[in-house]
Structures are given as C-alpha cells and as structure tokens.
Structure 1
C-alpha cells in the first residue's frame, strides 16, 4: 500500500477523534505487518493537529536526485580522463563510472577493450 493511502486513513481516524494508540491498533488490525510504525502515526497526527491539509511529502532541501544526468556523467568522465589526479568526492565516479581511487589516480575497475588488447 502507498504511503499516501495510510495517511488518508490516519487523517480520517484523527478527524473521527481517535487517539494515536487507537489509530495504531486499527491500522495493525487491518493491515497487519505492513502497517506504519507508531512513530509515523504520531508524526502525522501532530501535523494534522497543527492544521496541515496536504498528505504529500514536502519538498526537501539539497541536491536533487537528477543531478547525475547522462550529459553530466559524460563531462565528468572526460574530466577524469584529462586529469587522473583530480580531487573530488563524487558518487558519480563510484556508482556510474565504476571507478575507484588507486594511489593518487582514478582508474576504471574493469579494463576496456583497448586496454585488454594492449595487454
């Protein structure tokens, strides 16, 4: 079940005047193991008591997940190839390009076809 569907049920039971414990027991009896935790129920009850109407998550600060686009990855790969001694703390190197730090250089974990031919 989606998070927003649980929130709808929590809001409905809150508007009926149920306590957090009653709401958690009701969710457990209907949804079993997939019911949200008591801390989540308390959080959303506090939000609804403060006057929140929306059931969707608020925007979060920080870098969006879309920062590592194919275009950015290609540019970053070229930067690393131009200067192997680049000092960065980027997850693009590890996750997207499959590189790791060896001594003072970033090298590919797997050999390319050209490197295999040379060996």
Structure 2
C-alpha cells in the first residue's frame, strides 16, 4: 500500500493529538506498515510543526519548479515542436 504524504501526516497528527511520544508514533507506524513507511526525522519534524500550531497537512507553496512538469499541455507542445 502506497500512502501519500498527506495520509502519513494525518496519522502522525492523530498520534500527536493522542499525546503519544515521537518514538511511540514511529513504532506504531513501523509496526502497522513497515520500516520504510516514514523516517524518524519526518515524525520529529511533524511533531514540531504541530506543536507550533500547524493544523493542515498539505505542502506549503514554494518557489521553484513544480513536483512534476509533465502535463498533457507540455506533451502536446513538445510534439508540436518535434513536428516542425
């Protein structure tokens, strides 16, 4: 089962709200899924974010190119350029 980042963050938030420790959260995730599900650093970072008041799970907008640049529009533009 492939979990999205947001799904993992929701589970970390749930454990945070239950007042589990970071280690208990990490152990629970590894026991339920596997050791590659999430890193220790990720759990600790998200506990810190939630303790600062963050209450949403999506990535913050940032500068730079998007995660993926492959869109139907881009594919069509490349095909048109290749046909010239």
Q: Which residue of 1 aligns with 2:45?
A: 43
- Give the unaligned 5+ runs of structure 1: 78-119
Partner Cα separation in structure 2 for residue 26 and residue 62 of structure 1: 35
Moved over 4 A (4+): none
Gaps of 5+ in 2: none
Aligned to 1:113: none
The superposition leaves residues 17-49 of structure 1 with CA deviations (integer Å, 9 ceiling, x where unpaired) of 111111111111111234200001111111111
Higher strand fraction: Structure 1 or Structure 2?
A: 1
Whichever of the two has the greater Rg, that structure is: 1
> Distance in 1 between the 2:27 and 2:65 partners?
38
1:13 — aligned with what? 15
Greater relative contact order: 1 or 2 (C-alpha under 8 angstroms, separation 6 or more)? Answer: 2
What TM-score comes out, normalization by structure 2 length? 0.73
